[in-house]
Structure 1
Amino acid sequence: MKLAIGCDEAGFYLKEEVKKHLQGQGHEIEDVGVYNTDPAMYPDVAAAVAGKVLDGQAERGILICGTGIGMAMTANKFHGIRAAVCHDSFSTERSVKSNNAQIMCMGARVIGNELAKQLASMWISYEYQDGPSTPKIDRMMYYDAKRD
């Protein structure tokens, strides 16, 4: 799978671990930054990953900051993006299978390296399951389109 990944300074080390792990599984990773622990504007990184997903340059995206919350809030500002904070196996699974999320957000100050790598691997293995959640996603996208 082709993935875009990004972080702020708080998520830099975790991003590097997740990136290396996923590359080791054969996934193509485009790292949009940041590349060190200098203070950074996470909204710019979230915008870059969301743009890659929307443009079809990446099938999905992963964003990492201190909590994952700010990245998710920013990514969800982009029309058509569904980003979810994933810190446990159930929310990770449901973010894709029920909500068709294209961007996974994690918090480096919330979960450790091993759990993050496990959840990222799980997340990219899931596919959306058309079914009872489809009308809810359709309604989500209805409201998303009304933001103009």
Structure 2
Amino acid sequence: MDDFETWDESSVDLPDITAATCGRVVDRAADRAILVCGTGAGATMAAHRIPGIRCALANETYSARQAVEHDDANAIAVGAWLVGKAFVPLITDEFLAAQFDDDDATRRRVEKLDAMNPPRE
């Protein structure tokens, strides 16, 4: 596990942290990325700019699991201001344990998503 957390209260730019975290997935050094920002929205938007990343906003366990099973999400964003600390491990555990439903319909949909923002070769 790579941790790109900031360790002090100095200002940090979300696109930089998102690029570093998701870059590990794009480079195949990691299978998945977990992003945290205030609401999760900014991290999700930043991640969507990175070719090959399929990021879902997951402020509860159902979305975390469904994003992988139905959309082959390789990243999630969690809103630190919205999700209680006790729930974060539950959300991340669901995300990491979920498996893609590798059937024709879901594979076809993911291929269409990837065509909109192709992964790097």
TM-score (norm 2): 0.91
Larger relative strand fraction = 1
Structure 2 residues without counterparts, runs of 5 or longer? none
1:57 corresponds to 2:29: yes
Counterpart of 2:61 in structure 1 is 89
Q: Deviation at 1:37? A: 2.2
Counterpart of 2:46 in structure 1 is 74
Counterpart of 1:36 in structure 2 is 8
1:127 to 68, 80, 99: 99
Runs of 4+ with >4 A deviation: none
What is the letter of the counterpart of residue 54 of structure 2? R
Counterpart of 2:114 in structure 1 is 141
Counterpart of 1:7 in structure 2 is none
- Cα RMSD (Å) of the superposition? 1.0
Q: Deviations over 1:43-70 (max 9, x none)?
A: 1000001111111111111100001111
Structure 1 residues without counterparts, runs of 5 or longer? 1-28
Counterpart of 2:20 in structure 1 is 48
Q: Secondary structure at the match of 1:73?
A: helix
CA distance in 2, matches of 1:70, 1:102: 17
CA distance in 2, matches of 1:46, 1:33: 11
Q: Secondary structure at the match of 1:98?
A: helix
How many aligned residue pairs are there? 117
Matches within 5 A, 1:92-107: 92-107=64-79
